Structure 1
Amino acid sequence: MADEATEHDAPTRREYMKYGGAVVGGGLLAGCTGDDGGAQSSENGSAGDSYTVPMFPVGEVEFESVPESVTPYNMGWADMLVSLGQADKLKTNRLTAPTLFYDRFDIDWDADYPALWQDGGWSKEVMYELDPDVFLIDPNLMSQWGDNWSEEDTAELGENVAPFFGCHNRRIRGDWQKELGYPEQAPSLMEAFDAVGTVMDERERTEAWLDLHDELLSEVKSRIPNDEPPSIGLINSGSAPEKGEFYVLYLEDNGYEMKPYRDLELVEADAFAGVETGQYGLTDYETMMEVDPDLILVHWGITTGSVTFGGDGAFDGEQFREQFIEPMENHEVGSQLTAVQEDRVLPGPTAEQGPLVNTFQTELTARLFYPEEFGELDLDAPLDVPDAEQLFDRERVADIINGDI
């Protein structure tokens, strides 16, 4: 996936199919019967008739009726349902990290469901137990991640439980993704959301979100300073500064996890571009010192304090300092880093985001990098923004979620 506005090129390797319960034989799923990876439905399901919606890589997926229950795997796809006011239709335990976003709108949901991933592999038993009307999951992801999973397993679930409708478009850098044309064909975040909105027969809410998204990006881009942005050292939250272990991420990577940086035109500011690292981007204090970025950003850092990190769902500034900042301050080399000396080790956006979470994170990223233009970030409450500095209308978001459009 290139920039959000880039059109998808024609596929170089894919199989055309209508995907319902059957998996394409002889290899991973690939392709879509439409010309793009995106989001136009061929029919409208509001009248109770069957309808089809395209999605790369699964192709045209047929729905007998609008789904009443949905099981996603990634939190970003779960956020799409929340954004559409459909949190009550989710059957997932994956709504843990974004509670700091959702609590602002009194969004409630039931996360008391078993995890799809059990004992080192996918659980077919759990998927039968959940029995949703649709899996918002890329079937290719399942066979790639789970040694216990095959295309035949996917076909079985598609036949006996529900169709798969999803694309692993958070991060697009695996060899299998490159082989199947994901960098060129995978939908952007908002393209995928557009398709999900059609599946859920929520066109009005979907269009409202797309308008809000365009307005926000227009506002932000019109105010990006002409000055060169600070150099960025992006490290994953799995980094352990107390052990001298840093897992580097690259802003140029495809996928919706890097969307806020692309939208703020920050890709060229990547301090680690071209720097060699070890497995999974592993590097050390010496390399950090050689690069010496102006700003060290912790990917997923905004969800420090979430259930994922053992907290209650709110951002925990104290925990962030203890986990990431203080170990650098107390290290002989780390204490010499420019970002450490200038108090510029900051919590970055979470990788998982649908429209609601991304809206907040676009604003957050603007404040992280351009405080003189967009306002200073409060590390103790990074999502709390004075009314005069807010880049989008919170009431408008609440109205869309509630259907008051």
Structure 2
Amino acid sequence: MSTDQLVRLRVAAARSRTAPATWGQQAIWDAVAGLGADAPRYNVALPLAVEPGRPVAAMLEDLTGLLHLHDSLRTRLLPDDSGRLIQHLDAEGELPVVLRPGDPDALFAELLGLPFDTAREWPLRVGLVEVDGLVRHLVLVLSHTATDGWGVRRLHQDLIDLSAGLSVPRIRALRPSLQPADEAVLQQSPRGRRRDEAARRYWCERLVSGPGRLFEGSRDTADPERLLPNARLHSPALAQAVAQVAAGRGVSGSSVLLAAVAARQAQLSGGGEALLQVVVNNRFRPGTAQAVSTLAQEGLFHLPAADRPFADLLGRAQSAAFTAYRHAAYDKRLLDQDIARLRQEPGGVADISCTFNDARIVRADALPAADEVVPLTRLRERTRLTWPVEFPQRGPAFTFAMDALLVPDAVELALTADAALLPRTGMESFLLGIEELVLAEARALGHE
């Protein structure tokens, strides 16, 4: 028999509003809408150990403060008569919270594995694990329509501050942030529409000039149940070498990784140039840095002559990345219409089936202190390549998706690919080649 308790958070007299959906909300909603049982893979999670333990009543009060702080946590999304989304911010309502003694991992898996009904429920799911009368673990699971990974950091800090006794008005003053309805108003303004048009124009220009096919092979779409292999490279050496190369060459750590991915893509495809969709956090304008909202979208990164020596790529890669970042906020439905139109024209469009996401949420490119530097040769001995899972197919226009992740002692590169275009041997070569490119550049800078 289940020992779960269900308690409810009550929110009253908060802000209420109706507005068009933001570009990010609409794009994620569209992406999830057709996934069916696979929809929960888009959920965003924040599992936390609560040390020292906290009384249940105090934890519920903190969570109520979180709901007052961020409109996105009380926002429902409903399509209008045209099929476009409208966001409805509720001033009042209740959020169920699961209170359970026992295993936090099981509770996390249960909450993460459920889809959200964004029209009827708030996009937040909460679980508390109680031990000896105190909450020892907190699980937050959010719909991706409510926030992206960068917004989760803000939620974590807010919980820390709320538990320390800071009030909601005080936290708002410390970290002002743009709320989703306000973001939608800006996007629909003349300035926002110009920004959208400029971004889509940038995409279209590169779609007609970039490479039409990156990887040769025949996508096998006959078997809809065929799974895609996933490889994971755990590399403590890469974490240190990225920081060393970034400092030595005067570029960001993200540019180092992106240049290495681009170089290996060009080498493996044999075409000499790189074309990648890169996930961009779009937190460049006032009020967006601390926003709990879905701001991240894809930018289009194009690097000709990506098969040149790696040291020569770094500066060009950073410049190309900045250009892509400037054009990574747009109405995706309109961009999809632009792409469909281009596909009907002679020449077609470039191959945009490869994606890279630098998801290292905290900075990994700060050079370690001198007493923390370990010889790269020793760190390289700890590299591990594993094949942890397989994923469902992602549609006909997919070659690979790579995520860069930060763990306590390493950078991890997670690569999922269509084996018909990039077989397992190629995936292994891709990942180990990225590591070797960066380590070789660090050695050239005098780091051993």
TM-score w.r.t. structure 1 length?
A: 0.29
- Between structure 1 and structure 2, the one with the greater Rg is 2
Q: When you count strand as a share of all residues, which structure comes out higher?
A: 2
TM-score w.r.t. structure 2 length?
A: 0.27
